[in-house]
């Protein structure tokens, strides 16, 4: 998806600083362009994030849009995900965007504006089976962005979370972005095998077109009026709308009990 975003931004006339663990591989994937700079970046390394930001400033002198898109999928039922795997998921999907954004915000504040666009997931708004670590990391990103927008709005910086559904990207590619659970517990064995087979079968069959999503993000960015959220894809909208209805029904069902919890007025 990051490749598509870079290519669509270049096609729209923007200068792009594209990052990846291997700068040469990133350049090869996107294709050479006069307005493209590729920089090596491990998002879990704050020093690398600072170096990437400085490289962008050295080349173009300002940063108007930051797109946080790096991430992976630690699949599995909670008890089968080791502590190390769970922490690694948070390091990449949660602390990774924090590291990069922390390196960019001082630049945006100094120049008097900018945009922070962060790709999360439908799993950031509604939990799913086999997604305990992944959903936790994405929910954390949503909470951070929900508050960050208030912090930076006075400096002309806008914040948008992007919650895609299933897109035909590399998230479900084994050995690339998907990590199967390290532990094995007999009670979960049959369900784990069935779910892994189902996810493998989905790869390459997802309904969302990443090129169209990339074009939509460039359009939203260029509009100058970022929504706080962009729920991307018909499946994402259906999932979020269904979850909102469920939450509302839970509020309604316990409304009287919840409303009764205030201190009684003095006699």
Residues 222-243 have pLDDT tens digits of 998 899 999 999 999 999 999 9
Has residue 175 got a pLDDT over 60? no
State pTM to two decimals: 0.92
Neighbouring-strand partners of residue 37: 17
pLDDT at 174: 52
Contact 81, 181 (CB under 8 A): yes
Q: Could you tell me if 60 and 34 are in contact, meaning their C-beta atoms sit under 8 angstroms apart? A: no
Residue-wise burial string across 223-247, b where 16 or more C-beta atoms lie within 10 A, e elsewhere: eeebeebbbbbebbeebbeeeeeee
The whole-number pLDDT of residue 177 equals 80
In the residue annotation, 166 being an active-site residue is answered as no
- How far apart, in whole angstroms, are the C-alpha atoms of residue 137 and residue 29? 27
Q: Report how far residue 248's alpha carbon sits from residue 257's, in angstroms, rounded to the nearest whole number.
A: 15
Which residue ranges make up each domain of the chain? 2-235
Query: Who's near 214: CB < 8 A, 6+ residues apart?
Result: 1, 4, 5, 7, 8, 9
How many residues in total does the chain contain? 267
- pLDDT bin (cut points 50, 70, 90) of residue 67 is very high
Q: Where are the alpha helices (DSSP H) in 132-233?
A: 132-152, 186-202, 210-223
Contact 185, 178 (CB under 8 A): no
Picking from 14, 12, 36, the residue whose alpha carbon sits closest to that of residue 26 is 36
pLDDT at 15: 97
Q: How many CB atoms lie within 10 A of CB 50?
A: 16
Q: Check if the beta carbon of residue 76 is closer than 8 Å to that of residue 46.
A: no
Superfamily of domain 2-235: NAD(P)-binding Rossmann-like Domain (3.40.50.720)
Which two tokens mark 84? 């190390």
Torsion on CA atoms 92, 97, 99, 101, rounded to nearest 10 = 170
Question: What DSSP string describes 48-95?
Answer: HHHHHHHHHHHHHS---EEEE----EE-B-GGGS-HHHHHHHHIIIII
Q: Does the pLDDT of residue 172 top 80, yes or no?
A: no
Catalytic residue among 77, 134, 166, 188: 134
Confidence of residue 91 (pLDDT cuts 50, 70, 90): very high
pLDDT at 168 > cutoff 60: yes
Q: State how far Cα 119 lies from the chain centre.
A: 3
Query: How far is CA 24 from its chain centroid?
Result: 24
DSSP 8-state assignment for residue 264? P
> Which residue is it, tokens 């001082």?
106
């Amino acid at each position: 998806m990051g490749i598509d975003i870079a290519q669509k931004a270049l096609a729209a006339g923007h200068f792009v600083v594209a990052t990846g663990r291997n700068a040469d591989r990133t350049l090869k994937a996107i294709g050479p362009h006069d307005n493209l700079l590729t920089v090596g970046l491990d998002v879990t390394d704050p020093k690398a994030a600072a170096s990437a930001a400085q490289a962008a400033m050295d080349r173009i002198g300002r940063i108007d849009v930051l797109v946080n898109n790096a991430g992976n999928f630690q699949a599995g039922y909670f008890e089968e995900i080791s502590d190390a795997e769970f922490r690694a998921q948070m390091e990449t999907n949660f602390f990774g965007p924090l590291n990069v954004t922390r390196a960019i915000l001082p630049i945006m504040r100094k120049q008097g504006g900018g945009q922070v666009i962060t790709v999360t997931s439908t799993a950031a708004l509604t939990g799913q089976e086999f997604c305990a670590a992944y959903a936790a990391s994405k929910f954390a990103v949503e909470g951070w962005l929900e508050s960050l927008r208030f912090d930076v709005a006075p400096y002309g910086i806008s914040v948008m979370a992007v919650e895609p559904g299933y897109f035909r990207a590399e998230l479900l590619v084994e050995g690339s972005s998907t990590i199967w659970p390290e532990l094995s517990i007999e009670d979960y064995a049959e369900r784990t095998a069935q779910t892994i087979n189902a996810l493998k079968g989905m790869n390459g069959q997802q309904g969302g077109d990443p090129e169209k999503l990339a074009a939509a993000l460039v359009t939203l960015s260029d509009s100058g009026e970022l929504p706080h959220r962009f729920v991307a894809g018909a499946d994402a909208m259906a999932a979020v709308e269904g979850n909102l209805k469920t939450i509302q029904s839970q509020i309604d069902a316990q409304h009287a009990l919840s409303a009764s919890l205030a201190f009684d007025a003095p006699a």
